[in-house]
Structure 1
Amino acid sequence: MHDHNAAQLLAKVMDWRDLDAPPLFLPTLQLLADYKYDHYQRFGPGRRFIESLALWLDQFSPEDREAALELVTRRLVYFSDAEFTHLVSTAYPDLIVQERMRLVAEEHDISAHLVGKISRHARFNELRLKSLYLGLSDGARTNELRRASGGDITNEQIWQAYELSDEKADDMLKELKATLTDSGFKLEQPRFNLIWLLDDFSGSGNTYIRYDSEKRTFKGKIKKIFERLHRGDLVDPSHYEVFLLLYTATRQAIDHIEYWSERFTSEKGYKPLQVRVLCPIEPEISLKREPDPKIRALLEKTNYYDARATDKHIEVGGTSDARMGFAGCALPVVLSHNSPNNSIYMLWGPESYKPFGLFPRVSRHREF
């Protein structure tokens, strides 16, 4: 290991007597640190992964440190910034364009394999221009998506937030009309046909759509977006499609969003939401049914949790605490820009808490 001081600290915590003959996995761990973990954006200034790992392990009882280390070396799923950039770069050509081609083929009864005929059809270009892209969080990477489109998406079609003011909507529609006119499409009142809702990750799906059984009402971003779209100024109410494009999401979140959005849209008479995920996280990734007895025993211990992590936002997920993450997702997942609270608390606990997480999280919500 080239970071000798950090290696010595880790060896001391783990009680490894011979630093010159460390366990075989350490070179791999250092490689992953260089390639991914050192670049976690919520580490403090000068902090690197191996040092953070040693300080994190030191919080555990000596008999639990081996299981904690195995949790990291065998079960951690880390999405690097480069990996997210790759997902964003594939989103437009591999998914968005393909959906547009499918719609044109269905509208004009063209066989799906006649790619050239579909792409040359005027409707294909019209739908490109009449597509609106809205970011659902700061992880939506809207600028990266626009650049990855090779100029097919313009500044006037994309916005980094889903709550559009009337003034912004008016500006977008004016630009849409001008662009359509320049392209030879004469429309008195142009509206968007395709709405793309963009986000980087969903662990449970609750943020997007959920049902409050006490108040008998739906809540979440999807509800707000559909209500905004159906004010009639942005979309053509007789012809529109709404897509939720997630760069990565758990199968639990996908099932949740599809089920509750179908309930919501059918009840309100809206067009159904179509969910598209570039990199699904399958159920076996979750630690809910962890087969390793040592890791399972570690997760069951309550003394490695700070009760301050339980707040009104965690309670929305239906659990009494956040030990196993928001909504009990029990994920071992870390995102390069922030750890999701759907992961186990041991990974994301804030630095000011005791114990703190290996990849401390900065919450979107702040308690005063």
Structure 2
Amino acid sequence: MVFVSNAESLTMLLNIDCGATDSDSTWEIDEKFIKSGQNMQINTTITLREMTTLRFFPDGIESCYNLPLLGRERYLIRAGFYYGNYDGLSNPPAFDLRINGQYWTTINSTLTEDPIYVEMIYPVRRDSVKICLVRVHNNNPFISSLQARVLPSNFYKLMENTTILNLHSRIHFGGERDVGKSTRFGGDEDFNRIWKLKQMYNYHNVTSVRIPYGSSVSTENWPPYMAVADGISPPNGFNSISMWFDLPPQTSQAYFVFYFKEPEQSPPVSLVRRIEISINGHQMALTEVPQMDKDAIQVVSLYPVPVAGSANVTLQRAEGSTFPPIINAMEVFTSMELSRAELAHHYPFMVLAFLHVFGLSMLLG
């Protein structure tokens, strides 16, 4: 499904089934976005349509998709990869991804049945984005799917306009399955995000009032109901929840989002759930889970959080709290700055304004 601007055929939503030969109401073929590579149908039992085909690139070093997107918008951009032993070599390749000439990540494909997804939130500066697959060894790069979805400007409100957020984890707790329209199970995610179920066997699963299926919560970042309806809490006698996030070794700062929802259907008057959030031993925030109604969700965003390749997150029962902490969902991003070339598309109007105001007087001395 593609929403097109009348003026320049720029898209707000783009779902590309790489290597496919026919489109449907959700996915379109990739031929108008790239001129190199070869299509391949995969013999697999996987049920995701977009993972049954791929485009591989036997020639050249770099092969690029050109996506017509809206300038000055933030996009969720996700690439999907399913090797499926399409070449019969049982040798899944590794290769790099670049976005507008800037290193994004390295793809290490596997022989497993689980697709690999990489995702970022990208501040688009011009009316197109170039995503390139770069050969780093003798093996051929390939790609199965490519998606772009414009996000409301108030999402991820601490994100700077010159920063890229690379998704590390988007997880929810206490539920039964992944949530999101791109999963084989379907879901109620309105912004093309995938919320992976994180099993935490050392903690108790908690379930709140069941909320109507098929809608999101009108709070910060609009999380889907199915991702926040359940959560986890520490076992009896314990007052904290701990999680470890193994971030890339070069990571210096990260963006964390915490989603809290009270599971008690008829909370007692004495119920107070205050939570202290610490990362790597440093207290970062103190919050209280609201008791107002079944739709009340507390969202805590933290950025920039200094890290050194890893993050130990602790949710501790805070002073004055009569109940232990809970957590329903989380998002963790690493950040990097836009390349100088992209920044030049962001700041030219500021340079011109500066010269207009100061340039003549500076030249005259």
TM-score, normalised by the number of residues in structure 2: 0.26
Which structure has greater helix proportion? 1
TM-score by length of 1: 0.26
Question: Rg: which structure is higher?
Answer: 1
More strand by share: 2
